[in-house]
Amino acid sequence: MEAETRRGLRAWLGCPPPTDLFHEARQKRLERTCDWVLNRHEFIEWLAPNREPVSTESFLWINGPAGLGKTVLCARIVEHLLSTSQTPVAYFFLSSDFESRNDPYAAVRSWIHQLTSCNQVAYHLARDKWLAQNEDFATQIEIVDLFREVVQVVPGAYFVLDGLDECTWMGKGQGDGKSLQVFLNSITRAVANTDAHILVVSRDEPEIRSDLMYMKEWGELKIVRGDVQSDVARYARSIVDKKLFKKYNATREEVSRMLADRSQGQFLWVKLHEDSLRSWKNNKQLEDAIEEIPSGLDHVYERNWVRISRLPEPIRDRAYSLLQWAAFSIRPLTVNEISEATLLKEDDDGEFPASELPEEIDEDYIESEIQSPCGSLLEIRGTHSDSELGQRTVHLTHFSVKQYFLRNTIISTQWPLCKKNRQLSNTILQSSRLAKLCLRYIHSEHFRYNKETADTIAGSNEGENIQVSVKRSFRHYATVSWYQHAAAGNEDDFDLHMLIKALFDERSPSWVAWRDMFQMYSTGINWAIITSIRPHDASPIHYAARFGLTRITSYLIHDRKYPVNAKTPFGRTALEIAGTAGNLRVAKVLLDAGADTSIRNENGSTPLIEVALQGVLSVAELLLENGADISAANDEGFTSLASACIREHVPVVKLLLEKGANTSVADKDGWTPLSSAALYGHQEIVRLLLENGSDVSDSSNGSWTPLTAACSQGHLEVVKLLLEKGADIAHPYRDMRSPLHWASVRGFNKVAEMLLEKGADITATTDQGWTPLHLAASSGHLKTVKLLLEHGADTNRMDTSGWKPLYLASSKGHSKVVKLLLKYVHGSGDIDRPGLASLDPTTAAKELELSQLLLTEPLAERQYLADATGWTPLHEASYTGRIKVVRLLLDLGADRWLVDARGWTVLHAAAVGGHAAVTKLLLKDPDCKASRTDDMRRTPLFHAATHGFDDVAKLLTFQNQGDIHITDKYGSTPLSAACRNGHSSVVKHLLSLDKSTIGIRDILGRDSIWWARNGGDTKVIRLVVQHASRLGLDTTENNVLGTHAADFAEDSVMCDMCVTCVPDHIDVWGCNLCNGGDFDICLECRSLGLRCQDEHDVWFLKDPRT
């Protein structure tokens, strides 16, 4: 079940598919290279684990020119962190090869996924956020908010991002929402006031540097030639040794030195000239070849291009095609895929030439047909076996290869198409070309053939959609990528327009085949509001609207007469689809054709509400200009203003406020836009709403004020703003929690400190009697506990259940909090406070060992540690398995023989909790009496057997085998308790000690054989019957098998008489007086006339589900 939940969580996070970039970079690194960075003072300062929480001081930018091995260096840093850090390390390698290049927030999504995979607190936090959303995919705003929460619950984590300069957002302005400045600001704001560390590795691009200038403080480590020269020399020697292994050592040494010297510190330059090292050349020829090589990468690329341009035409065209697919594909193509893709011709209307495909992919094919035509400009990556060579991927040698081609006018105009139209960029023309090639493939019979069984290994993951065979391997890529190429291409390309028109003809077999495959393959396009449901009947106009195909949309409306207001099966119109996708021109076409702005989708949302939710400012303006109702709300009560506030779309919020949006409208749960913005920490939106009349004291959602919301999430600046505007610091929540309670339970120390400075009541209690100290101690927030104690919080205050902060901390295993609270028990935190007895030498030694943080009192004064039922912190720590706390309390002299109201010793508590380590620790005391019984005359062994804790049972019977004969109040033995609950491992162990216990009968005459059959567990029955037969006992009694007892892990109630678990759908009886009213009796025991613990028999029927 958890595995399925984790898969769902990963899908919601939108974590990009895993790549091999980190592992490939690790494999490329030679031993003893890249270690220089670990000794640089910039890195050491950034690495410091004990730095105080800061805003951006823990942000380090490592930069350097292309070819200096930055990715390999970054992999070395990650490797070092993984092996040395005591806190989690999350990393992401962004590459122009993968779709994540289009969104740097993919790194944040991946970071969160990695932390949830290794940290349970982070996992539960993210899981709860996901389950609270009615969406299949977390938005950018939600991801940033979640990232901030995660770094707060996982202190000291390291986050590494490589290749930021390869992001397609480079060069985009802040206004379009896709700027690196916004991204960098988002992640640094998210880690503000935490001790998280962020490392970014990239080239020294002016845009990144200028964006960083907006940040207050950040560190920089600039890579220069001198840093890497020795590593380059070692790398050059490794290549020379591999290529010239027959040469003398002196020759290899000289050649490698020449390569390293001429490389200018560029590993890539050395790699690109590997092929010039031929073993048949003599020393002078090798030296001359190296001397003739031009320095600098640009000269190397030009030399390769000239070589390609002089190849025979068929080979030259194939090389061009290979380079174009490698440079401009949405993701790296496999060898299988590119083998099909390079057979496509832009001006060829014929059938796909499947006969030209290779019979098989082998090393010879890869070398002659892919690598040889392009020389050192292409490389094949992957570690698949020989049988899977076709699944290796084809890449440009380096990102700078593509950049060189794009910025070099002379070379780029030699590429096909560029000669025809030099007014358009090479990128646009190549995108159009690849879109047309994909569409020609889709229109072929080759594509449609046997589509019902197409790609049977296709799954939810891009990596699972790659076919093993060559034939039709390109089908997946063409299906999901043509429209992305078209969107980036030339809209006025006539041939492209005609191909799309032909595809969007519902009478065409290509339409049916493509639509069905698209719905099978695509994970990013959903027409439904409940996005896990995939439709089958979205029409071409909806696809055109989503893909941003303006001319096609107009054609479908005016020429094909598609109804402009037609809905998908889930209520979405083309106008809503275009608007939420940010396709402004398509939205204009639809509105000009009469699209209705008031049509609601399945959730009752209008296009304006959905557009506001996505933050598409331009479309929101257009809809308002065309009469969209700004006051409309969906089925959940969300208006367009509320939607924009939740997602922190500041420009949209400003627009809606300017147009008169009502700030006081609450949703169905009573949340106003201000409360929602405060909850998510959207400071700028909170300020805007307050300036536009929002009520700072609004509590329409059940006493949850904006201040309470902000405090509950630790948004310090929002709290400060609300307090400045007069927010009520004492306004309680439904359960009487004040803002200080919320800050304390979540451990938001700075917020709690601000509230205390403003006069928050530290003694305020909830309806359960919890003070802020109770909540902070229970949650283990040491700094907050210390803050509250310094402000006079009462350590002896009990809640309504009689629990003090100390009990709560010990029950949760927060040993550091326990130490601190023990120091402050009875008030003063002064170690030398008067009134305490002198410490004995043993205790004094323990005090010294614990850094003199703890205090103890004489045995007679220690009774105050027990609650009203006699339950002590040592009981609770033993029951919950907090062995560090148990050891600490024992070392301080806690009495292990105190019993609670049920007669339980701490050993009983450990046995009931099933904690073998604690049980073993307690049994080390030679005076420990494992045979001691509670008020029901049950030993610790009886409880361990009842619950099936065989490891605990073995410890308890190691030296006390006589305990297995001790019966409880109702005559039951540990063996019969294990039998009735189906614990075969415990049964087997107890029988191995003494088989005779099988025949012991309870007060109703039932032995272990009877209980085994009644329990219905076949393993237990087999064990008991086999041993009973050897003893000559009657095994025919009670031949009717019962049903399995309920699992203790399930929601169930245990009968306190027969100790079997009752499933939660069956009623049980209870006694109002025994065990404080917490005494349960199953229907069978009640019907047999058994008496309750104290024989009060004050029965009442209760439903265990309540």
Question: Residue 549 and residue 585: Cα distance in Å, rounded?
Answer: 9
In a domain, 1082, yes or no: yes
- Examine the domain organization and report whether 968 and 1057 are in the same domain: no
In a domain, 821, yes or no: no
- Examine the domain organization and report whether 945 and 1009 are in the same domain: yes
For the chain, report the end-to-end CA distance as a whole number of angstroms: 25
pLDDT band at residue 906 under the 50/70/90 scheme: very high
Question: Residue 144 and residue 109: Cα distance in Å, rounded?
Answer: 9
- Examine the domain organization and report whether 1084 and 961 are in the same domain: no
Question: Residue 784 and residue 778: Cα distance in Å, rounded?
Answer: 11
Q: In what order do the strands lie in the sheet with 1099-1102?
A: 1079-1081, 1068-1071, 1099-1102
Beta strands 1052-1054; 197-202: pairing state? unpaired
Range of the domain at 954: 936-1045
Least confident of 392-401, 414-423, 686-695: 414-423
- Final residue in a domain of this structure, among 1003, 1029, 1045: 1045
- Examine the domain organization and report whether 184 and 38 are in the same domain: yes
- Examine the domain organization and report whether 602 and 651 are in the same domain: yes
**Region 328-353: what's the mean pLDDT?**
90
**Region 839-846: what's the mean pLDDT?**
33
Beta carbons of 193 and 55 less than 8 angstroms apart: yes
What is the tens place of the pLDDT at every residue in 662-671? 999 999 989 9
In a domain, 779, yes or no: no
What is the tens place of the pLDDT at every residue in 50-94? 444 443 458 899 998 877 888 899 999 999 999 999 899 999 988
Q: pLDDT above 90 covers what percent of the chain?
A: 41
- Examine the domain organization and report whether 39 and 176 are in the same domain: yes
Please provide the average confidence, as pLDDT, over all residues in the chain. Answer: 82
Q: What is the pLDDT of residue 544?
A: 96
Least confident of 482-491, 849-858, 947-956: 849-858
Q: What is the pLDDT of residue 842?
A: 34
Q: What is the pLDDT of residue 467?
A: 55
In this predicted model, which residue has the larger pLDDT, 514 or 307? 514
What is the tens place of the pLDDT at every residue in 488-536? 898 889 999 999 999 999 999 999 999 989 988 875 555 444 443 444 5
Question: Residue 1041 and residue 1011: Cα distance in Å, rounded?
Answer: 10
Q: Between the ranges 686-690, 794-798, 1049-1053, where is the mean pLDDT highest?
A: 686-690
Q: What is the pTM of this model?
A: 0.66
What contacts 185, CB < 8 A, 6 or more positions away? Answer: 214, 215
CA 157 vs CA 85, 92, 199, 210: distances in Å: 9, 14, 11, 27
In a domain, 271, yes or no: yes
What is the tens place of the pLDDT at every residue in 106-147? 899 999 999 999 888 898 888 888 877 666 778 888 888 899
- Examine the domain organization and report whether 963 and 1014 are in the same domain: yes
In a domain, 625, yes or no: yes
pLDDT at 174 exceeding the cut of 50: no
Q: What is the pLDDT of residue 101?
A: 63
Q: What is the pLDDT of residue 647?
A: 87
Q: What is the pLDDT of residue 1046?
A: 46
Return the CATH number at 672.
Answer: 1.25.40.20
- Examine the domain organization and report whether 66 and 136 are in the same domain: yes
Transcribe 380-407 into DSSP letters: EE----GGGGGGSEEEES-HHHHHHHHH
In a domain, 908, yes or no: no
Nearest Cα to Cα of residue 967 among 1008, 1013, 913: 1008
**Region 877-903: what's the mean pLDDT?**
84
pLDDT band at residue 449 under the 50/70/90 scheme: confident
- Examine the domain organization and report whether 615 and 672 are in the same domain: no
What is the tens place of the pLDDT at every residue in 256-303? 888 888 777 788 777 777 777 777 788 787 777 777 776 667 667 777
Question: Residue 546 and residue 563: Cα distance in Å, rounded?
Answer: 16
In a domain, 200, yes or no: yes
**Structural domains in the chain (count):** 6
Beta carbons of 73 and 37 less than 8 angstroms apart: yes
- Examine the domain organization and report whether 178 and 247 are in the same domain: no
Q: Between the ranges 16-25, 198-207, 1076-1085, where is the mean pLDDT highest?
A: 198-207
| CB-based contacts of 242-251 (< 8 A; 24+ apart in sequence) | 243/274, 243/277, 243/278, 243/279, 244/277, 244/279, 244/286, 245/279, 246/279, 247/279, 247/283, 251/283, 251/286
Q: Strand, coil or helix: what is 677? A: helix
Beta carbons of 909 and 879 less than 8 angstroms apart: yes
- Final residue in a domain of this structure, among 677, 693, 728: 728
pLDDT band at residue 847 under the 50/70/90 scheme: very low
What is the tens place of the pLDDT at every residue in 216-261? 678 889 988 888 888 888 888 888 888 888 888 888 888 888 888 8
Q: What is the pLDDT of residue 862?
A: 41
- Final residue in a domain of this structure, among 629, 661, 693: 661
- Examine the domain organization and report whether 263 and 217 are in the same domain: no
Return the CATH number at 105.
Answer: 3.40.50.300
**Region 897-913: what's the mean pLDDT?**
91
pLDDT band at residue 686 under the 50/70/90 scheme: very high
In a domain, 205, yes or no: yes
**Region 467-475: what's the mean pLDDT?**
82
In this predicted model, which residue has the larger pLDDT, 382 or 973? 973
**Region 1070-1074: what's the mean pLDDT?**
74
- Examine the domain organization and report whether 83 and 195 are in the same domain: yes
